[in-house]
Each structure stands twice: as structure tokens, then as C-alpha cells.
Amino acid sequence: DCGQNTSVQAGIRAMAKPSTDSRLSSLPETGSPPDGAMFILGDMPRVQVSTINTMIARFKEKVPGLLIPYYDQKRGNPVIIRKDLWPDLEHLPPDSGARAIFKRHEHQILRLDVPDPGILFDVDTPQNYLTLNRLPPG
């Protein structure tokens, strides 16, 4: 019963504690765990780099519980979740998404309006893929 949350949970565990894996010993020390994690969906190839950079800068400035981008009044992806909320991710059922966390911590959401329709465009169907190929680059 593995779903998208299995990967999320593994990533959170890896960030939350130092690795004892000797294969990673040659990597530079990263120090303490980050203040938050950005969750970027692989089926959303049109998210602009400038949007990601703006989100990171705003998160570092404000450190909200959740930072969620909006375009044209619609919520999109990626999102940033502060590390003290990561335990909530550990208990999500497979393929449930993080909406329950958004609802539970609604008072901690920082909404960020961005000029990037790519935060709404995901490629879930063959038709989406054809649409993607007809769009201009960028």
C-alpha cells in the first residue's frame, strides 16, 4: 500500500536525523535539519525557477507553518512545510495528499500570490502532455 506519502515520509525522516550510512560519509556536512521542506511534485514541470526562489526567500523571511503559492485565486504547488509540522506528515494515509494538514493548520498558512500559472498545471493525462508540448518554453 505504498503511495506518494511513502516517499514524503522517507524524506522527512532522512532530513530530521543525521545519517549513519557510511556511503554518505564523503558528502559535506549539512549541519542541523532545515527549518522547512519544499514539496515539489514531479508532474508539474511548468513551475518557474523564479517562483521557487521567491518562495524560499519569503519562507526564510517569515518562517510560516505552511507557505502555499496562489495564482489567479487558486492554490497551487509546490508548498513549503515548517519542520515542526513534519510529524503530521508521518501519519498521512497513502495517496491522501496534505490537504488535511492545510486544514488543521489553516491559521499558520502564508499565502503567496505569484505570477506563475505553472503552479496549477500538472501532467496527469495524455491530453495534459499534449497541451504541455504545445506551450511555449518557459
Could you read off the pLDDT of 36-48 as tens digits, one per residue?
999 998 899 999 9
Q: What is the pLDDT of residues 80-102, one digit of tens each?
A: 999 999 888 887 776 667 888 99
Cβ neighbors of 118 (< 8 A, separation 6 or more) are 44, 45, 46, 47, 48, 51
**69 burial type by CB count under 10 A (0-12 exposed, 13-18 middle, 19+ buried):** buried
* Cis peptide leading into residue 137 (ω within 30°): no
In a domain, 22, yes or no: no
pLDDT of residue 135: 79
Give residue 113's domain range: 4-15+35-134
Instruction: Give Cβ neighbours of residue 8 (< 8 Å, ≥ 6 apart).
Output: 39, 89, 92
Q: Is residue 11 part of a domain?
A: yes
* Beta partners for residue 1, in sequence order: none
Hey, which residues does 68 pair with through a beta bridge? 111
Give the pLDDT band (50/70/90) at residue 1: very low
* Residue 87 included in any domain: yes
**pLDDT tops 70 at residue 114:** yes
Domain-embedded: residue 106: yes
| CB distance 100 to 92 below 8 Å | yes
- Tell me, yes or no, whether 24 lies in a domain: no
User: Strand, helix or coil at 78?
Assistant: coil
Average pLDDT of the residues of the chain: 84
Looking at residue 30, its pLDDT comes to 60
Residue 77 lies in a domain: yes
Q: Is residue 30 part of a domain?
A: no
Q: How many domains does the chain have?
A: 1
CATH number at residue 98: 3.90.550.10
Instruction: Tell me the pLDDT tens digit for each residue of 18-35.
Output: 556 555 555 556 666 689
Measure CA 34 to chain center.
14
Q: What is the pTM of this model?
A: 0.80
